[in-house]
Chain A
C-alpha cells in the first residue's frame, strides 16, 4: 500500500507528469472529435509515424543539450546543409556505403564548431548558434541557389539503404518510428544511467561545482553539440529520402519546435532539469496537437498561431501546477 502511494507521488513529482495528462487528453479529444474519427485511422497514424520521428530525433539532442545548459538554434541549418551534401553525393555517384558516414560527419563537425564557439570562444550559445544558423543557411542558399534536387535520378527506389532508413515493417509501421525508439533508448540510457549523463546534468545545473569536482564541462558541452549535429544529419537523410528530394526549406522552424518540445516535456530553460522520456512526450504532444488541429479543420496556414497559444497556455498551467505541488 505504501509502495503504491509512493509510486503515485513519484509520478506526480515527475516534471513531465502534467504533460502526460495533456497528451492523453489530446488523444482522446482528437479521436472523438475529428470527423469520422480520422485521427485514429491507419492513414493518419501512418502519416504521424513518419512525421513524429523527424522532430523527435532532433528534440532528443536539443533537449539533452538544454539539460547541459546550452541552446542550439543552428539545427535549422545543419539539417538542410547535410541534406544538401547528402543529395549532392548521390548526384556525384559517390560510393554508396560512404555517403551516410560522410553526411553524418558533416553534422558532427558543424556541431563541434558550435561547441568550440560556445566553450572556447565563450560566446553565449544562443548568439553563437544564431550566427552559425544564419551563416550555414547563407552558404546553403548560395550553393544550391535554393533549387530543389530530386533524388530519383540518382537513386532507384527500393535500395537496402532506403529500406533501412524509411521503409516499412509488418503492418505498415514506418521504420522511422523504430529509429526514434532506438535513439530514445540510446540517449535515455546515456543521460540517465551513464556517468556522462550525470556530467550533463551537473554541468547544466551548477557548472562551477561540476568543474570543481574535476568534470571537464567544456568537453561535456562540446560532445552534446556534436550529438545534436549527428542527429540532425541522420534525420536529414531520412527526410530527404521521404520527400525524395533536397529542399532548401528543410529544417526551417525545427530549432524552435525542438526547444518547445523539450520545454513542454519538462526540460528547464536554465539547464539541469529534464528527461529523455519527457522530451519524447513533449514532441508527441506538439506533433499531435498540430495534426489534430488540422483534422479538426483549423486553418492550415494559421496553425502556428494555435500551437503558439497552446505552448503559452501549457507554460502558464505548468507554473500553477508547480506552485500547487510545492505547497
Chain B
C-alpha cells in the first residue's frame, strides 16, 4: 500500500457548494481525510454533515467544487462510482435486511457465485464469519437472521461488509445512535479495527464523547460552513461542544 504518500490526503473535497432549491446547504466547504485516519465530522442537525457525506458517497452531486481521491480528480455521480473508488457508507439501520441471514447480508449485491450465478454458500458462510471475527466479534452461525442480533452486532455485520470488500474510506453515519453504552463501546472497537486494517474512517456523530475516544481530528460544520478543523490534541470536548452550540466561526472565537 502506498500509504507513505502522507503529504497528500486520501480524499480531498474543495470548495463544495450545494443548493436544494432555495436552501443553500453547503457554502464552500473544504474537507479532507488522510490515509489511515479517523475523522470525526460533527455539527448540529442541519449543519450539512449528511449532505457533504452524500456528495462523497454519490447520492448527491455538488453544484460546485471538486473532489480528489488518491491525488486524482474524480467525478462521483452515483453510489456505484463511490464504491468503485473504495468509498463505502454504513448507514444506521439502513444497511441490513433484518430477516435475511448474516452471510447473505455481508454479501448483499456482491454474492460470490459458482456456475450460472448460483451462490457459493460455503465461501459466503466462512468468509462472513472470518471477517466478523477480525473485528473482534464472535458470531457462530452465519445463518442467523440479522434481526436476532444485538444493535452492536448488527453494526459489526455492516462494518464487516466494508472490511471484506477492501474499502479505502468508510463513512459511518451515526453508528452509535440507537445503541446502549456497552454496544456503543463495541462499535468503537470495530472502528479501531478498521484503522488497524489501514482503512480511513469518517465518523459522523452527535455524541462528542464517542467521537473523542477514536477520532484523531475533528471537522465542525454549522449552517453549511466549516467552523473548524482541529486535531484532537489541540482541542477538548468542552471547546468543541461550545463551538457546535454557538455556531460561531473559530477565527472569531480563538483570536490568538
Say whether A205 contacts B109, CB under 8 Å.
Answer: no
Q: How far is the CB of B240 from chain A (nearest CB, A)?
A: 30
Say whether B118 contacts A206, CB under 8 Å.
Answer: no
The residues of A that contact B116 with a CB separation of less than 8 Å are 194
Q: Contacting B119 at CB < 8 Å: which of A193, A214, A215?
A: A193
- Per the bound structure, the CA–CA distance linking A201 and B99 in Å amounts to 8
Q: Which one, B6-14, B87-95, B125-133, is touching chain A? A: B87-95
- Per the bound structure, the CA–CA distance linking A19 and B96 in Å amounts to 28
Q: A193-B121, A195-B119 are in contact. Are A212 and B79 (CB under 8 A)?
A: yes
Say whether A209 contacts B94, CB under 8 Å.
Answer: yes
Q: A189-B118, A212-B89, A215-B108 are in contact. Are A202 and B97 (CB under 8 A)?
A: yes
The residues of B that contact A205 with a CB separation of less than 8 Å are 97-100
**Chain B: interface residue total (CB-CB under 8 A):** 25
Q: Is the interface of A mostly helix, strand, loop or mixed?
A: helix
Q: How far is the CB of A326 from chain B (nearest CB, A)?
A: 10
- Per the bound structure, the CA–CA distance linking A208 and B95 in Å amounts to 8
B117 at the interface (CB under 8 A from A): yes
- Per the bound structure, the CA–CA distance linking A273 and B121 in Å amounts to 19
Within 8 A of B (CB), among A257-277: 268, 272-273
Interface centre among B79, B107, B108, B117 (most CB of A within 10 A): B108
- Interface 0/1 of B125-143, CB less than 8 Å to A: 0000000000000000000
A181 at the interface (CB under 8 A from B): no
- Interface 0/1 of A173-202, CB less than 8 Å to B: 000000000000000010001111011011
A210 at the interface (CB under 8 A from B): yes
Q: Contacting B109 at CB < 8 Å: which of A193, A215, A268?
A: A215
Say whether A214 contacts B80, CB under 8 Å.
Answer: yes
Q: Contacting A199 at CB < 8 Å: which of B83, B109, B121?
A: B109
Q: How far is the CB of A212 from chain B (nearest CB, A)?
A: 6
A213 at the interface (CB under 8 A from B): yes
Q: Which residue of chain A has the shortest Cβ distance to B91 in the bound complex? A: A212
The residues of A that contact B117 with a CB separation of less than 8 Å are 194-196
Q: How far is the CB of A61 from chain B (nearest CB, A)?
A: 20
Say whether A213 contacts B109, CB under 8 Å.
Answer: yes
Q: Which residue of chain B has the shortest Cβ distance to A202 in the bound complex? A: B97
Say whether A201 contacts B97, CB under 8 Å.
Answer: yes
B104 at the interface (CB under 8 A from A): yes
Interface centre among B95, B99, B121 (most CB of A within 10 A): B99
Q: Contacting A272 at CB < 8 Å: which of B99, B108, B121?
A: B99
B45 at the interface (CB under 8 A from A): no
Say whether B95 contacts A209, CB under 8 Å.
Answer: yes
Q: Is the interface of B mostly helix, strand, loop or mixed?
A: loop
Say whether A195 contacts B121, CB under 8 Å.
Answer: no
Q: What is the size category of the interface that chain A forms with chain B?
A: 20 to 34
The residues of A that contact B108 with a CB separation of less than 8 Å are 198, 202, 209-210, 213, 215
Say whether A194 contacts B118, CB under 8 Å.
Answer: yes
Say whether A201 contacts B109, CB under 8 Å.
Answer: no
Say whether B110 contacts A198, CB under 8 Å.
Answer: no
Q: Contacting B97 at CB < 8 Å: which of A195, A196, A268, A272?
A: A272
Q: Which residue of chain B has the shortest Cβ distance to A212 in the bound complex? A: B79
Q: Contacting B110 at CB < 8 Å: which of A209, A214, A268, A272?
A: A214
Q: How far is the CB of A196 from chain B (nearest CB, A)?
A: 7
Say whether A206 contacts B97, CB under 8 Å.
Answer: yes
Say whether B97 contacts A273, CB under 8 Å.
Answer: no
Q: How far is the CB of A107 from chain B (nearest CB, A)?
A: 24
Q: Which residue of chain A has the shortest Cβ distance to B120 in the bound complex? A: A195
B66 at the interface (CB under 8 A from A): no
B229 at the interface (CB under 8 A from A): no
B44 at the interface (CB under 8 A from A): no
Say whether A195 contacts B111, CB under 8 Å.
Answer: yes
Within 8 A of A (CB), among B50-104: 79-80, 83, 89, 91, 94-100, 104
B5 at the interface (CB under 8 A from A): no
B235 at the interface (CB under 8 A from A): no
Q: Which residue of chain B has the shortest Cβ distance to A216 in the bound complex? A: B109
- Per the bound structure, the CA–CA distance linking A49 and B213 in Å amounts to 67
- Per the bound structure, the CA–CA distance linking A195 and B103 in Å amounts to 12
Q: How far is the CB of A64 from chain B (nearest CB, A)?
A: 15
B150 at the interface (CB under 8 A from A): no
Interface centre among B104, B109, B117, B121 (most CB of A within 10 A): B109
The residues of B that contact A214 with a CB separation of less than 8 Å are 79-80, 83, 109-110
- Per the bound structure, the CA–CA distance linking A206 and B107 in Å amounts to 14
- Interface 0/1 of A224-258, CB less than 8 Å to B: 00000000000000000000000000000000000
Say whether A194 contacts B119, CB under 8 Å.
Answer: yes
Say whether A210 contacts B97, CB under 8 Å.
Answer: yes
Say whether B109 contacts A208, CB under 8 Å.
Answer: no
The residues of B that contact A194 with a CB separation of less than 8 Å are 116-119
- Per the bound structure, the CA–CA distance linking A93 and B104 in Å amounts to 50
- Interface 0/1 of B143-182, CB less than 8 Å to A: 0000000000000000000000000000000000000000
Q: Which residue of chain B has the shortest Cβ distance to A270 in the bound complex? A: B99
The residues of B that contact A199 with a CB separation of less than 8 Å are 109
- Per the bound structure, the CA–CA distance linking A198 and B112 in Å amounts to 11
The residues of B that contact A202 with a CB separation of less than 8 Å are 97, 100, 104-105, 108-109
Q: Which residues of B are in contact with A by a Cβ distance under 8 Å?
A: 79-80, 83, 89, 91, 94-100, 104-105, 107-111, 113, 116-119, 121
* Subset of 6 A-B contacts with CB under 8 Å: A195-B119, A206-B97, A212-B79, A212-B94, A212-B95, A268-B99
